[in-house]
Amino acid sequence: MAQGEIETLIGLLAKLPGLGPRSARRAALHLLKKRETLMQPLARALEQTADSVCVCSRCGNLDTADPCAICLDPRRDVSTICVVEEVGDLWAMERSAGYRGLYHVLGGRLSALDGIGPDELRIAGLVTRATDEPVKEVIIATSATVDGQTTAHYLQDRLVDANVTMTRLAHGVPVGGELDFLDDGTIMAALNARRAV
Ligand SMILES: [Zn+2]
């Protein structure tokens, strides 16, 4: 049975999403075996990132500088803002590499059940940006959940005076996805977003 610092390490690793106590022990053992090639570089990266991470005051992205690298990138199209719920959604959009505009991270979605109202999200900042910046289109990419849809409708109401075109991501069938493996919500959303061919 692990003792002292190692036990503490396992306890902390077990708090990471996707890692339970069992996989935390495996990860800890792997780190201990790769002390110089993995554990020490990881420790340095964690410390440096923890010291410098901040929230972009313009778009809500997480980065080590404010404004973030995306906001400052002169190659990005400043006439388009894609509104997402979380930084993880921004990362997913960036991975797809098809989008070259700016972002706005809400920090969640409206939820009556969880007591998340408009003031808990970065909505006022979005309205200001859509009004004051040279924005032509706001792409609302909130999730296809009920709360995500509610948030999208709320944003449409709030942005109605901002003189921007508002669009929604078509939530649909993933490329190569078989309908059988999709949940009902995804199929319904894909059906509702259907286009003439
Ligand atoms: Zn930013």
Instruction: Give the model confidence (pLDDT) of 15-70 as tens digits.
Output: 999 998 999 999 999 999 999 999 999 999 999 999 999 999 999 999 999 999 99
Residue 175 C-alpha to ligand 1 middle, in angstroms?
A: 30
Asked if residues 107 and 121 have their Cβ atoms less than 8 Å apart, the reply is yes
The two tokens of residue 123 are 């909505």
Ligand 1 midpoint to CA 89 (Å)? 14
pLDDT band for position 122 (cuts 50, 70, 90): very high
- The Å distance, Cα 59 to ligand 1 centre, comes to 4
- Tell whether the model's pLDDT for residue 196 goes beyond 70: no
- Compute, in angstroms, the gap from residue 98 CA to the centroid of ligand 1: 18
Give distance in angstroms: CA of 95 to centre of ligand 1.
Answer: 17
Ligand 1 centroid to Cα of residue 174, in Å, is 28
Residue 24 CB partners (closer than 8 Å, separation 6+): 10, 11, 13, 14, 16
Is the pLDDT reported for residue 1 higher than 60?
A: no
Neighbours of 155 (CB within 10 A): 24
Picking from 85, 94, 89, 79, the residue whose alpha carbon sits closest to that of residue 130 is 79
Q: What are phi and psi of 79, to 5 degrees?
A: -85, -5
Q: How far apart are the CA of 106 and the centre of ligand 1, in A?
A: 12
Does residue 192 surpass a pLDDT of 80? Answer: no
Confidence of residue 190 (pLDDT cuts 50, 70, 90): low
Instruction: Say what the pTM is.
Output: 0.80
127-180 confidence digits (pLDDT tens): 999 999 999 999 998 887 889 989 999 999 999 999 999 988 776 666 666 667
How far is ligand 1, taken at its centre, from the CA of residue 17, in Å? 25
Going from the Cα of 135 to the center of ligand 1, the distance in angstroms, rounded, reads 15
Residue 171 is predicted with a pLDDT of: 66
Q: Give me ligand 1 centre to Cα 39, in Å.
A: 31
